[in-house]
């Protein structure tokens, strides 16, 4: 923390150029002509390949786009979509939009929190499950909605969600 | 490709369509709602069934965009009879094919609304659900395959763009839009024609058109359905707007939460480029226009135009003070036109049918139609489009089928976290910009959440305040600190710990935040609170007069 050298992030491990995920990001940056205004698009690609945005990936992007690391970090931390931490192997995303709220999403969230002892934004110690909330996924006609591993569970019921998550975690 | 080549293609496609008129068509709703209920499996199973029966040459199966009644999904529509089947699953497909398509006998107990109406309509168009509606922005949404440009061309696609390019000057286009009296459908309701004219008047080498598809209001999914169900319509609107204001580049900013809308819009751009409807010297004219998609990354404030521009530039989405308005200095400092998805979807029909035609729909001050996303405690949750001025009662009871579980209507919330609620006493309010504003709510982008007596209005206000607190970008103090303080006070009331002084403070704070915030987020954040206070004040006071609460704090003023 106190090590203020001329090279910030000097301690961060460099990425391996042969990593297929790095190749994906490199290709995207090339396609966007290393334009700084394409930062958000590039971050989307990075998050899609890594699942989240590790700090060394951010350093790599900031180098390539000639942007200060602070600028990249401030953009990442601003948007909900980007995550600096792993989201877990399986994810349970509870929609807490207005329609879902009116139809009892809070109750579902409470029971999921209780069953797995995880609060929104937390990941289990074994990295198996992460619980998240979304402000609205736009599936309001099917409220309350929960997304388990990218699959929308329409008109969700807490018991069924918990059962589904348990079975997901058992089968690896 | 020049104009004639395109006409030849359209002519050939139309002839093909005409010769297929007699064929049966089965439209399978592949909108986000129905896909979540399993319409992809239904589509595959249907294909298999048709193949097994050797009917491929007689029946077309079309994956379409949203048909409307999302919570009855998956939906399939059989044409030309217009019979819609609800909650279709793989087990009853065989029965539907046999009965509807071969024996020509509709199965009444599987038809749309068969569980709520004494006798469902065989032709769904006769059902009050559809009869009361008027589809302009959503026209063809549930009819054509959104992934095929040919389908759009057959349904008069790009006809308006062609007309504009070769028969109208930019001034003519702007005059037509002004005459239609259409107002921005994103929420604020600024007259679209005037916005276009302002951008047109600025002289600049480079101008931009932005399609605002950052539909952030929780409880709203209109833009999503338009982008997923008829992406070419929005693209055509952008191209016409580009021609009118003199822009050569467009950006479609779409929420990252809508992957299907992004995929389909990108495909639409690719197809339009291939046919020469985007690119340099479009159809042999002088006009060049190109569109790029920008994916939102989940920030409600990015619906605000200056924040959205910052986000397209790859920065944190924080708003800037206006003026200068984006019309003068927007994206990279250039004159920029920003329109909402629904506004752009209405442009082509206005050009095709004339501004006068559009201006005659709706009310004196709010012309045209509005798409609403009906959700909450309502039977027929889904997507509807009605003429402006339709009453809330008609929307909830005639179209929405009434309150779910037979409960009592308590309030409808419009405009999301920037809006307010309409109580039962005002069920006959006309849904237009002015009437809603006079009740302390706003039209907003079109989310309409219905609440029954089980909803606690103080908690509803707290819910929205929590949302605004989380979404505040933090740039200006009144919004960043004010929303947090208001949320804490509301939480205190919800927990029965508040005093009368807290309520007084809350009301005072609401005014400060409203007046002093930099952008619309903070400026409208107190709306749900003020509106619930206006219509349901007793719910707040009941919490406060709670004797338990009084015993905890001493309220006596010290003099």
The pLDDT tens digits of the residues spanning B162-187 come to 999 999 999 999 999 999 999 999 88
Is the confidence at residue B478, as pLDDT, over 90?
A: yes
Nearest to B36 among A99, A102, A142 (CB): A142
User: What's this model's pTM, rounded to 2 decimal places?
Assistant: 0.93
Interchain CB contact of B326 with A (< 8 Å): no
Q: Which of A138, A143, A147, A153 should one mutate to test binding to chain B, selecting the residue with the greatest count of B CBs within 10 A?
A: A138
Q: Which CATH class is domain B149-358?
A: alpha beta
- Tens digits of residue pLDDT in B123-145: 999 999 999 999 999 999 999 99
Contact (CB, 8 A) for B422 and B439: yes
With CB atoms and an 8 Å threshold, state whether A78 touches B258: no
Report residue B284 as tokens.
Answer: 């042999």
3-state DSSP of B443-502: CCCCEEEEEECCCCHHHHHHHHHHHHHHHCCCCCHHHHHHHHHHHHHHHHHHCCCCCHHH
CATH class of A90-170: alpha beta
Whole-angstrom Cα distance, residue B245 to residue A157?
Answer: 50
**Would you place residue B548 in the very low, low, confident or very high pLDDT band (cuts 50, 70, 90)?**
low
pLDDT at B555 exceeding the cut of 50: no
Q: Answer whether B253's CB lies under 8 Å from B311's CB.
A: yes
Give the Cα separation of A66 and A53 in Å (integer).
Answer: 18
A44–B contact, CB cutoff 8 A: yes
Top CATH class of B458-552 equals mainly alpha
CB contact, 8 Å: A103 with chain B? yes
Average pLDDT over residues B262-272: 97
Does pLDDT of B192 surpass 60? yes
> Which residue from B219, B297, B451 is facing A81, i.e. has the nearest CB?
B297
Nearest-Cα distance to chain B for A131, in Å, is 17
> Domain spans of chain B?
3-124, 149-358, 368-453, 458-552
In terms of Cβ atoms closer than 10 Å to its own Cβ (0-12, 13-18, 19+), residue B86 is buried
Measured CA to CA, the distance from residue B226 to residue B232 in angstroms comes to: 10
Average pLDDT over residues A88-101: 93
Q: Do A141 and B70 touch (CB under 8 A)?
A: yes
Segments making up each domain of chain A, as ranges: 20-78, 90-170
Chain A partners within 8 Å of B71 (Cβ): 141-142, 155
pLDDT band at B24 (very low <50, low <70, confident <90, very high): confident
Phi-psi region of B416 (alpha: psi -120 to 50; beta: other; left: phi over 0): left
Fold that domain B368-453 belongs to in CATH: Ubiquitin-like (UB roll) (3.10.20)
Find chain B residues with C-beta within 8 A of A35's C-beta. Answer: 314
- Interchain CB contact of A33 with B (< 8 Å): no
pLDDT in tens, B77-128: 998 899 999 999 999 999 999 999 889 999 999 999 998 888 999 999 999 9
For chain A, strand residue ranges (E) read 90-95, 129-134, 146-148, 151-153
Compare CB distances from A99 to B73, B316, B376 and report the shortest one's residue: B376
The pLDDT of residue A172 is 58
Residues of B in contact with A81 (CB under 8 A): 256-257, 296-298
In this complex, do B218 and A74 lie within 8 Å of one another by their Cβ atoms? no
Contacts of A64 in chain B (CB under 8 A): none
* Confidence band, pLDDT 50/70/90 cuts, at residue A8: low
Please tell me the distance in Å from B252's CA to the nearest CA on chain A: 13
Q: Are B292 and B210 in contact (CB under 8 A)?
A: no
Whether residue B317 and residue A36 make contact (CB cut-off 8 A), yes or no, is no
Whether the upstream peptide bond of residue B214 has omega within 30° of 0, thus cis, is: no
- Closest-CA residue of B relative to A96 is B218
Whether the CB-CB separation of B299 and B255 falls below 8 Å is answered with no
Give pLDDT, residue B539: 95
B316–A74 CB contact, under 8 Å: yes
Report d(CA B392, CA B430) in Å as an integer.
Answer: 6
Q: Considering only CB atoms, which chain A residues are within 8 Å of B382?
A: 141
CB contact (8 A) between residue B295 and residue A44: yes
**What ipTM was predicted for this assembly?**
0.89
Binary contact (A75, B299; C-beta < 8 A): no
Residue A91 contacts B, CB cutoff 8 Å: no
What are the φ and ψ backbone dihedral angles of A96, each rounded to 5 degrees?
-115, 30
pLDDT confidence of residue A16: 83
Q: With 70 as the cut, is the pLDDT of residue A6 above it?
A: no
C-beta atoms of B216 and A135 within 8 A: yes
| Subunit contact B221:A37, Cβ cutoff 8 A | no
Query: Taking CB atoms and an 8 Å cutoff, what residues of chain A touch B521?
Result: none
The separation between CA B301 and the C-alpha centre of its own chain, rounded to angstroms, equals: 17
B window 404-423, beta carbon within 8 A of A: 413, 416
CA distance A155 to chain B (A): 9
Residues contacting B505, CB < 8 A, separation 6+: B489
Place of tokens 């390949």: A49
Is the pLDDT at A90 greater than 60? The verdict is yes
Starting at the edge strand that comes first in sequence, how are the strands of the sheet with B420-423 ordered?
B382-387, B369-376, B447-452, B409-414, B420-423
Could you tell me which of B321, B333, B310 has the C-alpha nearest to residue B476? B321
| Facing residue for B219 by CB, picked from A97, A142, A155 | A97
Give residues 33 to 72 of B whose Cβ lies within 8 Å of A.
Answer: 33, 35-37, 69-71
CA of B414, closest CA in chain A: separation in Å?
Answer: 11
Query: Which of A43, A101, A139 is the closest to B32 by Cβ?
Result: A139
Residues 6+ positions from B393 with CB-CB distance below 8 Å: B427, B428
- Residue in chain B nearest A151 by alpha carbon: B36
User: Which tokens in the block code for residue B516?
Assistant: 């002093």
Q: Is pLDDT at B397 greater than 90 in this prediction?
A: yes
- Please report which helix (H) or strand (E) contains residue B385, including its range: strand B382-387
- CA-based nearest residue in chain B for residue A146: B36
Average pLDDT over residues B181-197: 94
Note the pLDDT tens digit of each residue in B310-366. 999 999 999 999 999 999 999 999 999 999 999 999 999 999 999 999 999 999 999
Query: For position A36, what pLDDT does the model report?
Result: 93
Report d(CA B246, CA B202) in Å as an integer.
Answer: 10
Would you tell me which residues 74-113 of chain B have a C-beta closer than 8 angstroms to some C-beta of chain A?
Answer: none
8 Å CB contact between B459 and B494: yes
Inter-chain CB pairs, A–B, below 8 Å: 139
Chain A residues touching B467 at Cβ < 8 A: 135
- In this complex, the residue of B36, B71, B300 whose CB is nearest that of residue A135 is B300
Tell me the pLDDT band of B551, cut-offs 50, 70 and 90: very low
pLDDT at B223 over 60: yes
Chain B residues 130-189 with CB within 8 Å of chain A: none
Identify the architecture of domain B3-124 in CATH.
3-Layer(aba) Sandwich (3.40)
| Cβ proximity of B82 and B121 under 8 Å | no
Query: For testing the chain A interface, which of B297, B372, B400 should be mutated: the one with the most A CBs within 10 Å?
Result: B297
**Residue range A23-45: mean pLDDT, rounded:** 95
CB contact (8 A) between residue B221 and residue A152: no
The closest CB to that of A102, out of B217, B256, B451, belongs to B451
Is the Cβ of B526 closer than 8 Å to some Cβ of chain A?
no
The minimum CA-CA distance between B70 and chain A, rounded to whole Å, is 5
Using the Cβ of A154 and the Cβ atoms of chain B, whether some distance falls under 8 Å is answered with yes
Q: Residue A40 and residue B413: Cβ atoms within 8 Å? A: no
Contact A145, A98 (CB under 8 A): no
């Amino acid at each position: 923390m106190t090590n203020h050298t001329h090279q910030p992030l000097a301690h961060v491990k460099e990425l391996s150029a042969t990593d297929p995920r790095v190749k994906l990001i490199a290709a995207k940056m090339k396609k966007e002509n290393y334009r700084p205004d394409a930062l958000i698009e590039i971050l989307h690609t990075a998050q899609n390949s890594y699942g989240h945005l590790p700090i060394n990936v951010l350093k790599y992007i900031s180098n390539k786009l000639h942007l200060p690391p602070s600028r990249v970090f401030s953009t990442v931390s601003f948007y909900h979509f980007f995550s600096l931490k792993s989201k877990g192997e399986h994810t349970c995303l509870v929609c807490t939009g207005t329609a879902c709220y009116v139809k009892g999403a809070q109750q579902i969230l409470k029971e999921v929190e209780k069953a797995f002892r995880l609060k929104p934004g937390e990941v289990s110690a074994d990295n198996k499950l992460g619980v998240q909330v979304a402000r609205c996924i736009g599936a309001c006609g099917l409220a309350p909605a929960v997304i388990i591993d990218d699959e929308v569970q329409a008109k969700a019921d807490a018991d069924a969600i918990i059962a589904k998550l348990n079975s997901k975690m058992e089968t690896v | 490709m020049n104009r004639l080549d395109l006409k030849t293609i359209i002519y050939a496609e139309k002839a093909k369509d005409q010769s297929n008129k007699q064929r049966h068509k089965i439209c399978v709703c592949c909108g986000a709602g129905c896909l979540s209920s399993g319409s992809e499996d239904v589509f595959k199973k249907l294909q298999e069934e048709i193949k097994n029966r050797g009917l491929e040459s007689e029946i077309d199966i079309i994956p379409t965009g949203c048909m409307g009644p999302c919570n009855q999904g998956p939906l399939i529509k059989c044409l030309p009879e217009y019979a819609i089947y609800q909650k279709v699953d793989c087990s009853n497909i065989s029965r539907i094919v046999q009965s509807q398509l071969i024996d020509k006998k509709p199965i009444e107990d599987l038809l749309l609304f068969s569980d709520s109406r004494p006798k469902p309509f065989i032709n769904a168009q006769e059902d009050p659900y559809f009869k009361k509606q008027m589809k302009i922005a959503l026209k063809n949404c549930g009819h054509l395959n959104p992934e095929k440009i040919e389908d759009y061309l057959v349904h008069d696609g790009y006809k308006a763009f062609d007309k504009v390019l070769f028969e109208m000057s930019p001034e003519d286009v702007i005059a037509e839009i002004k005459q239609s009296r259409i107002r921005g459908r994103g929420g604020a309701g600024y007259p679209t024609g005037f916005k276009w004219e302002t951008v047109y008047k600025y002289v600049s080498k480079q101008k931009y058109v932005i399609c605002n598809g950052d539909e952030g209001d929780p409880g709203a999914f209109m833009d999503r359905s338009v982008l997923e169900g008829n992406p070419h319509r929005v693209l055509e609107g952008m191209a016409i707007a580009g021609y009118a204001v003199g822009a050569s580049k467009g950006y479609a900013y779409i929420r990252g939460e809508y992957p299907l809308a992004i995929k389909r819009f990108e495909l639409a751009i690719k197809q339009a480029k291939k046919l020469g409807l985007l690119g340099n010297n479009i159809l042999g004219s002088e006009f060049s226009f190109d569109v790029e998609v920008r994916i939102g990354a989940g920030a409600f404030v990015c619906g605000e135009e200056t924040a959205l521009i910052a986000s397209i530039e790859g920065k944190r989405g924080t708003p800037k003070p206006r003026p200068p308005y984006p019309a003068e200095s927007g994206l990279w400092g250039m004159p920029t036109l920003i329109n909402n998805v629904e506004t752009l979807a209405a442009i082509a029909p206005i050009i095709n049918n004339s501004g006068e035609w559009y201006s005659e729909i709706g009310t004196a001050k709010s012309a045209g139609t509005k798409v609403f996303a009906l959700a909450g405690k309502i039977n027929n949750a889904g997507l509807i489009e009605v003429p402006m001025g339709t009453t809330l009662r008609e929307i909830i009871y005639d179209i929405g089928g009434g309150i779910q579980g037979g409960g009592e209507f308590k309030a409808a919330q419009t405009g999301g976290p920037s809006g307010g609620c309409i109580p039962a006493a005002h069920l006959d309010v006309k849904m237009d910009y002015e009437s809603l504003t006079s009740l302390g709510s706003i039209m907003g982008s079109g989310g309409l959440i219905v609440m029954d007596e089980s909803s606690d209005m103080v908690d509803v206000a707290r819910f929205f305040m929590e949302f605004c607190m989380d979404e505040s970008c933090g740039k200006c103090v009144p919004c960043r600190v004010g929303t947090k303080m208001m949320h804490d006070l509301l939480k205190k009331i919800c927990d029965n710990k508040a005093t009368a002084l807290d309520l007084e403070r809350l009301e005072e704070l609401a005014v400060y935040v409203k007046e002093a915030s930099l952008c619309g987020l903070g400026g409208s954040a107190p709306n749900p609170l003020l509106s619930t206070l206006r219509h349901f004040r007793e719910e707040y006071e009941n919490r406060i007069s709670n004797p338990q609460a009084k015993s905890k704090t001493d309220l006596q003023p010290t003099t």
